[in-house]
A and B are shown apart, each in its own frame.
Chain A
Amino acid sequence: MDLQELLLTAARAVAVYALMLVVIRVLGKRTVGNFSAFDLLVALMLGEVVDEVIYGDVSFLQGTVAIGTLAAVEYANSWLSLRSQAFARLTEGAPARLVVSGQFQRREMGREHMSEEDVRAALRLQGVEDPQEVRQATLETDGEVSVIRERWAEPAQKSDLGPARKHAKKDAKAKRAGGKGRKRRD
């Protein structure tokens, strides 16, 4: 292995770096890894092709064609998903409702091969122990479970203090004077 060969390898690495940068910027934020299982696969495919190019197992032209084609198909896919809902369903899958208003949706769960314990674990990962707190839990297209809580189970919000904030100082004074504090509304 002479020096020239090593320099060539380094040069190919630089060129491939630039190529990947362009491809990923063009594909945008939605791609590569976090939208659906297939986006992840595309990222893996790109990665597999790239190392062959850097090592010189395939020519730079061949590598560019391969990467360019994968990127073009991925771009076309996301473009078509934007135009057609049916196409999006076909390639990305549809989200599945696992829990609605505290009730496990057995049919949907069965279709996604999830047991009640699987769903409970997914809820726990979002900090929910009791399914009754869940307004809607959804298995998203990338396999993660999103949880929307019932209004009463959400963390307290500023609006829960009620509209009387203007009088907060007066309240505090009244409290100090031995008056009852305002009761928290549901």
Chain B
Amino acid sequence: MEPGHILVRALFAYLFLLVLVRLSGQRSIAQGTAFDFVLALVLGDMVDDLLFAEVSAATFVAATGTLALVHLLAADLSRRSPALSHLVSGSPTVLLQDGVPNLRNLRRERLNEDDLEALLRRQGVAREAWGDVACARLESEGELSVILRRPRRELQEGDLR
């Protein structure tokens, strides 16, 4: 295989995926859900078959284009229907409320208390400080959001007035 062809195909794949990602309006993979992340991996994996001419450019465009289109369609539909959104990306799960772990929800996410401790630690909340937490939710991105109880939350401008 001629190196020149590979160069042209690499350029084509790069530009095509760039356009695809910009059209899909995805700002960053990190902000997305686990599914967005895997989809990005898949798109990346589809490139090498094109580079080494295992598939034609038309097939590459059809495959990646369809994936992006379906993803866009799913996002659009779930924007309109909360029920579908719930189905596609899940909903936040409350793991800790008023300092008390929600064991049922933890089990549902297959997390144990050590996992919860680690998740909270990442947000700067020590085990002894669980009582300061009003609500900790596992968001659909897979990250834990922590809302502290009023006395423990950061000082706000309004508190000084």
Contacts and interface: CB of A to CB of B under 8 A. Distances in A.
A32 B34 contact: yes
A33 B151 CA distance: 35
A29 B75 CA distance: 18
Interface in B47-66: 49, 54-56, 58-59, 62-63, 65-66
Q: Say which size band chain B's interface belongs to.
A: 35 or more
Interface in A1-47: 1, 5-7, 9-10, 12-14, 17, 20-21, 24-25, 27-35, 43-44, 46-47
A85 B138 CA distance: 22
Interface stretch (A48-56, A102-110, A114-122): A48-56
B153 A30 contact: no
Interface stretch (B1-9, B10-18, B19-27, B114-122): B114-122
A140 B118 contact: yes
A10 B69 CA distance: 10
A161 B59 contact: no
Nearest to A47: B41
Given A24-B38, A32-B37, A156-B154, A95 B59 contact: no
Interface string B31-53: 00011011101101110010000
Nearest to A163: B151
Q: Which residue of A82, A140, A158 has the most chain B CB atoms within 10 A of its CB atom?
A: A158
A186 interface: no
B152 interface: yes
A85 B161 CA distance: 49
A21 B152 contact: no
B154 A47 contact: no
A28 B90 CA distance: 9
A30 B142 contact: yes
Q: Which residue of B38, B65, B125 has the most chain A CB atoms within 10 A of its CB atom?
A: B38
B67 interface: yes
Given A82-B111, A159-B151, A34 B35 contact: no
B82 interface: no
22 contacts: A1-B56, A10-B66, A13-B67, A13-B70, A20-B35, A28-B108, A29-B34, A30-B110, A43-B38, A47-B38, A51-B42, A54-B42, A57-B54, A79-B110, A82-B110, A82-B112, A146-B121, A147-B124, A156-B154, A157-B152, A158-B153, A159-B151
Given A5-B59, A17-B74, 20 more contacts: A6-B58, A13-B62, A17-B70, A28-B109, A28-B110, A29-B109, A30-B138, A43-B41, A51-B49, A54-B67, A138-B121, A140-B118, A140-B121, A141-B118, A148-B121, A157-B152, A158-B153, A158-B154, A161-B155, A161-B159
Interface of A: 1, 5-7, 9-10, 12-14, 17, 20-21, 24-25, 27-35, 43-44, 46-48, 50-51, 54-55, 57, 78-79, 81-82, 85, 88, 95, 135-136, 138, 140-141, 144, 146-149, 154-161, 165, 168
Interface of B: 34-35, 37-39, 41-42, 44-46, 49, 54-56, 58-59, 62-63, 65-67, 70-71, 74, 87-88, 90, 93, 107-112, 114-115, 118, 121-122, 124-126, 138-143, 148, 150-156, 159-161
